[in-house]
Amino acid sequence: MKHRRVILLCCLLGLGAAEAAGQVTTFGYFQTSFQHRTSFPNEPAQNAFSLQQLNLFFQTDVSRRWRAFVNFEVLNNFSSSRQWGGFNIEEAWLRYRVKASFSLKVGLQIPIFNSLNEIKNRTPLLPYIIRPLVYETSFSEFIATEDFVPARAFVQAYGFVPVGRAKIDYAAYLGNSPNIRSHFDNEREGGDGQTGIDTTITLLAGGRLGLRLGEVKAGVSATHDVTNEFQGVEALFGGPASRFTGLSRVRLGADFSYHLGRLSLEGEWIWVSYDEDEPDLNVDKTFFYGTLGFQLTEQVFVYATYWDTLQRQVAFNVDGPDGLIPVFPLEIDIEVIQAGVAYTPNDRITLKAQVGPVDVVQSVTVVPFGDIDRITSEFNIYSIAASVLF
């Protein structure tokens, strides 16, 4: 199965796809699924078919050392006329390969952070239907996935250094801060500024340092940027309007994987810290996942996985006894236990099943009145899916 996965990974990365310089190669993959979710408080049970994700790639080797690559991503039964899902240009970059151990990419790209970020959209390669939550882009409408992991960079240098039997991996990158102008910002501010660009002079800076030795792979990752997403929170805690402008944000991550014969173990940890400078305000976030897998046969992989996602955020204007009042949802803790199986009848098709319980605990605080609500929701998710490389 390891040999089969290497072949599949080569296909997904487009290696060897274009033999002649200037030849454009088109390939892609999609994952379509069916999910049943049991009922939980105030929500009935539901069934849903979904074109969960589709990626279409264009690649050309401009010369022996230069490669251009474009990645379009479609999510959640995308339909512009019905206002469903999303359509994104995820990547559009030019890579210069200095040598086998060092490359430089410029242009829109998914940066290296921990082990899973760069390959999170390779659905035929991954055994999951629902991926560990901060990597599940189809959930980005209700989970702040981009708060946990960097989604975009524009310059990245990466490679490895052989050290005896081991290899030291490294990556460093730059990108925009999260303060990107949107159409909503223009409508709110009554302006017509250029959308999709950074509105500050700050940058995202990040990287990863890792080790590969035999069947062990481990690494640490970090990013730093500055965010204005908490502007207005001074209405809750007092102080000048600039108090929560330009808050420093640091992401720290660690990843580990190990293979022992047919048995595999992998996991990641992420901590997101904000420089709030307010004792009563804690918007830090954490995430952990661990997966234990077993290669049952050449074509069948089974696994059990545990995820815990803790996110904190600020919200305003909720109905209260005296009208609209500001609300601070203290934390939302999502615990997921899943078991699954992936069956790969050939190198281009992976059939999957996944099942398990989900616990969501939401604690709500109204400033300055203290805790007023704690909601616990428990439900099960049953999923089947097909991932296809084309």
Q: Residue 12: its pLDDT value, please?
A: 52
Cα–Cα distance between 331 and 356 in angstroms, integer?
Answer: 23
CATH number at residue 214: 2.40.160.10
- For residue 15, pLDDT beyond 90: no
- For residue 7, pLDDT beyond 50: no
**How many CB atoms lie under 10 A from the CB of residue 40?**
17
Q: pLDDT tier at 330 (50, 70, 90 boundaries)? A: confident
The DSSP element (H or E) to which 92 belongs, if any, is strand 84-99
Q: Residue 306: its pLDDT value, please?
A: 98
* No. of helices (H) and no. of strands (E), the chain: 4, 17
Q: pLDDT tier at 235 (50, 70, 90 boundaries)? A: confident
Cα–Cα distance between 379 and 390 in angstroms, integer?
Answer: 35
- For residue 167, pLDDT beyond 90: yes
- For residue 180, pLDDT beyond 80: yes
* DSSP output for 205-220: EEEEEEEEETTEEEEE
- For residue 16, pLDDT beyond 50: no
Cα–Cα distance between 233 and 223 in angstroms, integer?
Answer: 24
What is the tens place of the pLDDT at every residue in 36-75? Answer: 999 988 889 999 999 999 999 999 999 999 999 999 999 9
What b-and-e string marks burial along 336-346, b requiring 16 or more CB atoms within 10 Å of the CB?
bebebbbbbee
Q: Residue 223: its pLDDT value, please?
A: 98
> What is the average pLDDT across 209-233?
94
Q: Residue 162: its pLDDT value, please?
A: 96
> What is the average pLDDT across 220-246?
88
Characterize the bridge pairing of strands 153-163 and 66-79. Answer: unpaired
| Full-model pTM | 0.90
Q: Residue 227: its pLDDT value, please?
A: 95
User: Residues 358, 318: contact at Cβ < 8 Å?
Assistant: no
**Polymer length of the chain:** 390
DSSP letter (8 states) at residue 38? -
Query: Could you identify the residue written with the tokens 């790639």?
Result: 57
The pair of structure tokens assigned to 34 is 């069916």
Q: Residue 342: its pLDDT value, please?
A: 98
Return the closest-CA partner of residue 228 out of 148, 314, 107, 100.
314
> What is the average pLDDT across 347-364?
93
What is the tens place of the pLDDT at every residue in 239-288? Answer: 887 888 999 999 999 999 999 999 999 999 999 999 988 877 888 999 99
Q: pLDDT tier at 29 (50, 70, 90 boundaries)? A: very high
- Range(s) of the domain holding residue 343: 2-389
What stretches of the chain show up as alpha helix (H) in DSSP? Answer: 2-13, 145-148, 183-189, 234-237
How does the average pLDDT of the chain come out, rounded? 89
Q: Residue 103: its pLDDT value, please?
A: 98
Please give the single-letter amino acid code of residue 65.
R
User: In 110-246, at which residue ranges do the beta strands (DSSP E only) sit?
Assistant: 153-163, 166-176, 203-213, 216-227
Q: In the chain, how many domains are there?
A: 1
Cα–Cα distance between 63 and 148 in angstroms, integer?
Answer: 36
SS3 at position 137: helix
